[in-house]
Structure 1
Amino acid sequence: MLATEPGNPDKPNEDWALVSPGLAVVLDGATARTDTGCVHGVAWFAHQLGAAIVANAAVRAANLAGCLASAIDRVASLHPQCDLNHPGTPSAAVGIIRIHGNELEYLVLSDISICLATREGGRQVITDSRVSATARRVRTELANLAIGSDEQAEALLRMKRAELAARNRPGGYWVAANDPTAAEHAITGAVPLRTIEDLVVLTDGAARIVDPFGLMNWNEFVESLRDQGPTELLRRVREAEAKDPDGQRWPRNKRSDDATILHLSDIPRG
């Protein structure tokens, strides 16, 4: 089951997701707070990148990092008129899961989360938190600023500039943008299919119900998905956001963010 919705109904959803037999891809386009050098925008980039990843990952012999690298290169070829070397060129976090024989392969790059629920009741959460390790001083400052205030807007811009300075370079963080070699830094792995009961791929706008809201843990999150489905969980995220519009209880960069949850159960055993 899949549910996705924009953080602001008046703006395009910069998340992108697709599920097909044996394959699922979820992307979270990074918010552009500066010029990008691209006339197309983040939503366009995420849609094009997602489609390219799906086409590449359908070839089972190709490893997932290679699929992502080729997709980044492909999308770059679609808009040569844009300044792809601009420091703010559009980018996206990526989550991929694929069934390959008797294994479930996964890839995470930047702040997508994958939660694997085992048949024995265990939970493994795979996420890439390197971006949140950048601009620490500004992030601390932001925690004390009201959402929507002039002070927050100025701090967000400083944070974005610091993030861009650390993007796709050693000691910083890695995200799908214009450089295919970023895929080499993705978190990848594989687990036996027979051990997996449920799997969830979600963007950080949906994961906030666990962190920073703390309204449930990952065990409760998976149980709620089983009982109520992803649409209800997104409703609960929006309900919590509406109760804390200024971010005083749960400091965050945006009142509401684009949010996507993909939940798969009854997984074929290969």
Structure 2
Amino acid sequence: MSIHGALLPAGSPPGQDRWIATPHGIVVLDGATASAPEVPPAERYVDTLLDALATRLAGRDELPDVIAEAIADATGTLGIAPGGGPSSTVALLRWTETTIEVAALGDNTIVLGLNSGGEVRLRDDRLSTVAPAARRNYHERLRHGHGYDDGHRDLLTTIQRSEVQARNTQDGYWIAEADPAAGHHAETMHLPNESVSWAVIATDGAQRVIDHLGLPWADVAASDDTELQALLDRLHRWETENDPNGQALPRAKPHDDKTLVVWQPNRA
């Protein structure tokens, strides 16, 4: 098999995206910082969670159990409590001789190419249901040319406060933070190994621009490390040169961390 990946921070490295490939699978994370000053930085959280997930992919536990156990480990290591810690999305791909397993917690996207033609996609969109009126409002303001002004920042603050209240609740959304139970709410999919021809895992900073520009995911899947890095540079450049104020593609900030990881089974 072949695995290639690239990462582009929105600002100063290393950013808060992480990815790793193991002999058994792939882990992709997209961290988010909490506002409380006593909370460990998101960088520490995603580094700790990444190690815990990578270690567990070799086992036979179901992927939701893998995520739950890794969250418990990270919580214990960093000494964080539910509701106040940094958080992160989780996307997992694991392969066996018979099965391709994928899991998503948070808004990373996993696209699988099928040998029969076409694609299937796994994405956890529950976060987008929080504070829908404020989200619609900030999208409309951006489309009307207001840009990233004080009004935009006020709306983001409203959304972020609502997200804290809804985090890891039955009527809200589920994310990796300090409640291991969140792992059991991951979205999952299992497919026969021989039915999958390629896979791409993307954090939302990359996925949204790729979808907006209509770039074929099969082309992304055929890319090597250098080509993936060039693609991420292209996406960042499009945001800067073509849509600096978020009118064409409304988004919370001008740039987000971007990660792409591709997997090809290379069957004979």
Q: TM-score, normalised by structure 2?
A: 0.90
Once the two structures are TM-superposed, the CA of residue 224 in structure 1 deviates from its matched residue by: 4.1
Is residue 172 of structure 2 the alignment partner of residue 172 of structure 1? yes
- Note the C-alpha offset of 1:227: 5.3
Matched, 1:5 2:8: yes
Counterpart amino acid of residue 127 in structure 1: R
Q: CA RMSD in A?
A: 1.8
Structure 2: gaps spanning 5 or more residues: none
1:35 pairs with 2:36:
yes
Instruction: State how far apart, in whole Å, the 2-side matches of 1:98 and 1:3 are.
Output: 19
The corresponding residue for 2:73 is 74
Task: Measure the CA separation in 2 of the matches of 1:31 and 1:252.
Answer: 17
Shift of 1:148: 3.0
Aligned length: 258
Per the alignment, residue 237 of structure 1 pairs with 235
- Look up the match of 2:103: 107
Question: Residue 121 of structure 2: which of 120, 125, 149 is its match?
Answer: 125
Helix, strand or coil at the partner of 1:158: helix
Residue in 2 that maps onto 1:89 = 85
* 1:105 to 1:113, Cα distance in 2 relative to 1, 3 A: same
**Alignment-derived partner of residue 210 in structure 2:** 210
Greater Cα shift, 184-193 or 147-156: 147-156
Matched, 1:195 2:195: yes
**TM-score after normalising by structure 1:** 0.90
- How far, CA to CA, are the matches of 1:225 and 1:234 in structure 2? 14
Deviations 1:126-152 (A, max 9, x none): 000000111111101111144431111
% identical aligned pairs: 30
Distance in 2 (CA, whole Å) between partners of 1:14 and 1:251 is 21
Give the residue type in structure 2 aligned to 1:29. G
User: Helix, strand or coil for the counterpart of 1:35?
Assistant: coil
In the alignment, the residues of structure 1 paired with residue 158 and residue 92 of structure 2 have an alpha-carbon distance, to the nearest angstrom, of 31
1:221-260 → structure 2 map (5 Å cutoff): 221-226=217-222, 229-242=227-240, 243-260=242-259
Query: Given the alignment of the two structures, is residue 19 of structure 1 paired with residue 15 of structure 2, yes or no?
Result: no
Instruction: Give the superposition deviation at 1:20.
Output: 2.1
Q: Does the CA contact (< 8 Å) of 1:111 and 1:204 recur in 2? A: yes
Give, in angstroms, the shift of residue 37 of structure 1. Answer: 3.9
Query: Are the equivalent residues in 1 in contact too, given 2:24–2:57 (CA < 8 A)?
Result: no
Counterpart of 1:148? 148
